Amino acid sequence: MRSRPSGTADAYRRFAELEAHGNSPTYEALSNGVAADPELLELLDLLPPGKRQPNLLLAAVRHLGGPTASYREFRAWVLAHWERVRAVMLARLTQTNESARCAVLLPLLAALPQPLALIEVGASAGLCLYPDRYRYAYDGAEAFGHPDSPITLPCRTSGPVPPPCPLPTVTWRAGIDLNPLSASDPEDVRWLESLVWPEQRERLTRLRGALSVARGEPALLLRGDLNATVRRLVAQAPAGATPVVFHSAVLAYLPGAARQEFVRTVRELPCHWISNEAPGVLPGLKERLPVPVPAGRGVFLLALDGRPVAFTSPHGQRLDWFAREPGPGSTAAPGPSHPMPVT
Ligand SMILES: C[S@@+](CC[C@H](N)C(=O)[O-])C[C@H]1O[C@@H](n2cnc3c(N)ncnc32)[C@H](O)[C@@H]1O
């Protein structure tokens, strides 16, 4: 088959290098394999741009029971079962739900006026809506948090991180998602498990623990587009609680105009706003950074009310608080759209 330049090949190569490397040798090898495979790239490029992501392909294959031990077996299986793989990729979204992101949100949440009404946009199964129900171990220190938590979230930090305790008091939890997943639905749970990378047994244990927390205290999860629904949820927050709209690994899925609309809306609403997204996804934030974005590793940028405060690692394992204040605001447009977001 003829070979041709493909943005998809670049995306798979970047995924291998920046995300899978050091985290999943299996995914690193498979995504490097896809990046150099014109036949698979050709099939992927027939999918809509938002459906070509490495995480979506790899999770779909595992969801269907395909082999991942070697690229040779993987590619043969994918080619033989492409219609089934394609159907799962079209039907499902990369909805990786990582409760460990609560460890990077916690210092901001703990510093806000309590109690809190939490509203997560792009909530998946809502596992980040329980920051007060988990335990935490920062920098290897003794864990603290909810005594009944089935999981402990480890996080390395640097810089002047505000104290993450006492834990926030959460009186209301609500979320919006295009496709809310249910912690009580076995098929949704199986998809969430397929999204956890193969070697990451700890993440699987954490996912199962967080799902049990969510099952025990279901949040209000609405189906809808975040721009169409966020006002309604903020208006529904109970009186006497501080409404906090937050999101992580979500806005990269939206086109630039929709991101700008969200920023305009959330700034007008009577709420605090916490964003945890790749740098450049949100209009104006990257321009205010007091330090350059670290090269060679995937990072997210944590911000409170549009003010950058820290770099975080995309799955919540690191929190690097800025020692310097951010620069003045900017009216810059959002960065390029990210058709293959970090999940
Ligand atoms: C990668 S997951 C992140 C889930 C969760 N925020 C976390 O940090 O674990 C992204 C979620 O955003 C949702 N999403 C994407 N675009 C959306 C939109 N326009 N409105 C609402 N939800 C959206 C997806 O369905 C998916 O569940």
- pLDDT tens profile 91-147: 999 999 999 999 999 999 999 999 999 999 999 999 999 999 999 999 999 999 999
Domains of the chain: 7-91 (no CATH), 99-321 (3.40.50)
What's the gap in Å between 70 CA and the centre of ligand 1? Answer: 31
Residue nearest to atom 23 of ligand 1 (CA): 122
Find the farthest-apart pair of alpha carbons in the chain and give their distance in angstroms, rounded.
64
Percent of the chain exceeding pLDDT 90 equals 86
Which three-class secondary structure state does DSSP give residue 167? coil
Confidence (pLDDT) at 85 = 98
Rounded to an integer, what distance in angstroms lies between the CA atom of residue 131 and that of residue 104?
10
What's the gap in Å between 161 CA and the centre of ligand 1? Answer: 27
Specify the residue for token string 């698979």. Answer: 40
What's the gap in Å between 76 CA and the centre of ligand 1? Answer: 32
In short, whether 249's Cβ falls inside 6 Å of ligand 1 is yes
Confidence (pLDDT) at 339 = 39
- Flag whether pLDDT at 340 surpasses 80: no
Closest ligand 1 atom number to CA of residue 124: 27
What's the gap in Å between 122 CA and the centre of ligand 1? Answer: 3
In short, whether 53's Cβ falls inside 6 Å of ligand 1 is no
**Span of 195-209, 285-299, 301-315 with lowest mean pLDDT:** 285-299
What's the gap in Å between 55 CA and the centre of ligand 1? Answer: 14
Mean pLDDT, to the nearest integer, of 190-212?
Answer: 96
Spatial strand order of the sheet with 220-223 comes to: 144-145, 135-138, 152-158, 318-321, 307-312, 300-304, 272-277, 242-248, 116-121, 170-177, 220-223
Specify the residue for token string 């609500």. Answer: 174
User: Which of 55, 98, 101, 178 should be mutated for ligand 1, with most atoms under 8 A from CB?
Assistant: 178
In short, whether 226's Cβ falls inside 6 Å of ligand 1 is yes
